[in-house]
Amino acid sequence: MAETIALTRLAVLGSPIKHSLSPAIHQYFAQQAGLVLRYDAIEVDDDHLSREVQRLADEGALGCNITSPHKQQAFALANRASERATIAQAANTLIFESGSRWKAENTDGTGLINDLVENLGLTLKGRTICLLGSGGAAAGVLYDLLAQQPSRIMICNRSPGRAEALALRFRAFGTVETCTLESLSRQGSFDLIINATSAGHRGTDPVLVTGLFADDSLCYDLSYGPAHAALSGWCTAHKVRCIDGLGMLVEQAAESFRLWTGFTPQTNAVLAALRAEQFQARGNLPITSPASSNSG
Ligand code: NDP
Active site (annotated) includes residue 125: no
**What is the chain's Cα-based Rg?**
19
Å from CA of 195 to ligand 1 middle: 8
Residue 60, by phi and psi: left (phi above 0), alpha (psi -120 to 50) or beta? left
**pTM of the entire predicted model:** 0.93
pLDDT tens column, 31-63: 999 999 999 999 999 999 999 999 999 999 999
Report whether residue 199 contacts ligand 1, using a CB cutoff of 6 Å: yes
Which one of 197, 223, 224, 228 would you pick to mutate in the ligand 1 pocket, going by the greatest count of ligand atoms within 8 A of its CB?
197
pLDDT of residue 206: 77
Question: Catalytic pick from 71, 103, 125, 239?
Answer: 71
Would you state the torsion angle of the CA atoms of residues 26, 27, 29, 34, taken in this order, to the nearest 10 degrees?
A: 140
pLDDT of residue 1: 58
pLDDT of residue 278: 84
In contact, 88 and 171? CB cutoff 8 Å: no
In contact, 16 and 67? CB cutoff 8 Å: no
Report whether residue 104 contacts ligand 1, using a CB cutoff of 6 Å: no
CA-nearest of 66, 77, 82 to 137 is 66
Report whether residue 137 contacts ligand 1, using a CB cutoff of 6 Å: yes
User: Where is 125: in which H helix or E strand?
Assistant: none
227 DSSP 8-state letter: G
Instruction: Outline where 35-148 has alpha helix (H).
Output: 49-58, 71-77, 83-88, 108-113, 136-147
CA-nearest of 10, 3, 136, 1 to 62 is 10
User: Where is 18: in which H helix or E strand?
Assistant: none
Atom of ligand 1 nearest to the CA of 246: 41
3-state secondary structure of 47: helix
CB neighbourhood size of 30 (10 A) = 22
Q: What percent of the chain has pLDDT over 90?
A: 88
pLDDT of residue 242: 97
pLDDT of residue 291: 30
Report whether residue 271 contacts ligand 1, using a CB cutoff of 6 Å: no
- Phi and psi at 103, nearest 5°, equal -105, 135
**Which residues of the chain fall below pLDDT 50?**
286-296
pLDDT tens column, 196-220: 999 999 988 778 889 999 999 999 9
pLDDT of residue 2: 61
Å from CA of 147 to ligand 1 middle: 22
